[in-house]
Amino acid sequence: MDNGRQYVSMCQRIVVKAGTSTLSSGDGHVSLTRISAIVEQISELVHQGKQVILVSSGAVGLGRNMLQRATVLNSSMRQMVRGNSGVPEGHGSKHYDSACAAAGQLNLMSLYETLFRQLDISASQLLLTAADLETPERRQNVQYAVNTLLQLGIVPIVNENDAVSANQGYLPSGVFSDNDGLAAIIARELNAQLLVLLTDVDGVYDKPPDQADARIISTFHPDTKYEAGPKSSVGRGGMVAKVDSAQKAVEAGVQGVVIVNGSDPSAVTRVCRGEQIGTLFVGSGGMHVSPPNSIAGSRPNSPARISLNGGGSSGGTGGPGPVGGAGVMRAQAEAARAGGRAMLQLSSQERSQVLREVANQLLAHSSSILAANQQDLTIAKNGKVEKPLLNRLALSEAKLQTLADGINSLAETDEPVGRIISKMELSTGLELTQETVPIGVLLVIFESRPDSLPQI
């Protein structure tokens, strides 16, 4: 296993995109075999403690079959004899496809819900348009919704709301114009570490795959050259859209993107095990994921720390350890432990008030925080820090507001300490009680984006 694939196997938050070419059979009908395989693989990852978001196409194709049947059933004998069924040829008009999406989305989600339920996994639906991702407020709403679902072990299933967007094809200039672009945006906005794009070929080829000497590109770097083959007859994006979305995702900070053949019933799990299949996209600095230490790793939903520039045992920039050495670190740890004990003595209302005050102080001192951040960015740029890492370091009023909102949402959650989980009488006068208590001082090496902090 090479280093890049080894790092892929450590990723904890994963976005899987299944397109129409993957979900449909040769005759245009939905492939129950492939959809079932995707559901089984995602369920396996969730049971392993990973967080998975599914971006799924297929509603328009399902709806088109429904509308064609309905049109035939509602046509007169004369119309049938004349061959005028009222169904537009080819992909039809955008209005017809919108109706197809509206009819097919219900069936698509019903199928997913039924399959996931058999494996003790709950699923949810998010239908998005470009307008939902153009403003910070709407993006925050999407982030809060998906993060909440993931924390509860629910699989979010995302699709473009074609019934209202009437999206007709891949356009490089738009927010997104197909589900490949949507998956890349979801991976970026939800801090996913890995994006898996399922397609109908084995990966990205250096030449069109129908040529005899075409070879799969195992690792795709920013300067890699390739020639795309023809687009499949179904779907909107094609390989050009997938490569473009993969490169944009990596540039925006997603650590790795893999394009792989979705007809393999174990493609997703094989990718997540680090097997050498498909094409892995990485940034110019490569992909580096540090394995979680024994403390952070004991929590199943704690993502491994990822860095783009060396992956040493120190901080994300590969610099030296804390000034003052072990003595300062021990003093900080002891102070944190004392603070934890003091917090335990507070009431639930008092602990919530502490969190609200932290959020208030963040906003009150936003000017000085942003000024200090600009100094950090200047130093980072002078030090030739790569663009993906710079994107993670950059702060804004919107990010600080997101962090404050996240902390306030923690203050509003139910009290986690002191809950009675179970009671059992072992013998007369001897009762065993399981009660929630603070975990103690937990050091989590997390992403540098401050708006990720409440996810811990």
Can you tell me the distance from the alpha carbon of 347 to that of 338, in angstroms, rounded to the nearest whole number?
Answer: 17
Q: What are phi and psi of 415, to 5 degrees?
A: -60, 120
User: Can you read off the two tokens belonging to residue 359?
Assistant: 């959020």
Q: Which residues contact 194 (CB under 8 A, 6 or more apart)?
A: 8, 11, 13, 14, 15, 187, 254, 255, 256, 257, 258, 271, 272
| Contact by Cβ (8 Å): 177, 169 | yes
Looking from the CA of 358 toward its CB, the CA atoms found within 13 Å total: 17
SS3 of residue 5 by DSSP: helix
Can you tell me which residue has the tokens 């429904």?
66
The boundaries of every CATH 3.40.605.10 domain in the chain are 330-436
SS3 of residue 83 by DSSP: coil
Which architecture, in CATH terms, is 330-436? Answer: 3-Layer(aba) Sandwich (3.40)
Q: Which CATH code is given to the segment(s) 3-72+87-281?
A: 3.40.1160.10
Can you tell me the distance from the alpha carbon of 258 to that of 157, in angstroms, rounded to the nearest whole number?
Answer: 19
Partner residues linked to 311 by β-bridges: none
Can you tell me the distance from the alpha carbon of 258 to that of 203, in angstroms, rounded to the nearest whole number?
Answer: 8
> According to the model, what pLDDT value does residue 281 have?
92
Q: Give the C-alpha distances (Å, rounded to integers) separating 40 from 21, 265, 266, 306, 368.
A: 19, 9, 9, 27, 49
User: Can you read off the two tokens belonging to residue 171?
Assistant: 């356009």
Burial of 345 by CB count in 10 Å (0-12 exposed, 13-18 middle, 19+ buried)?
exposed
The boundaries of every CATH 3.40.1160.10 domain in the chain are 3-72+87-281
Mean pLDDT by 10 residues, the chain (456 residues): 76 92 79 94 94 89 74 64 54 66 85 94 92 86 93 93 64 57 91 92 86 88 76 59 87 90 95 93 63 33 37 37 55 76 79 89 92 89 81 84 87 82 85 80 57 59
> According to the model, what pLDDT value does residue 76 have?
62
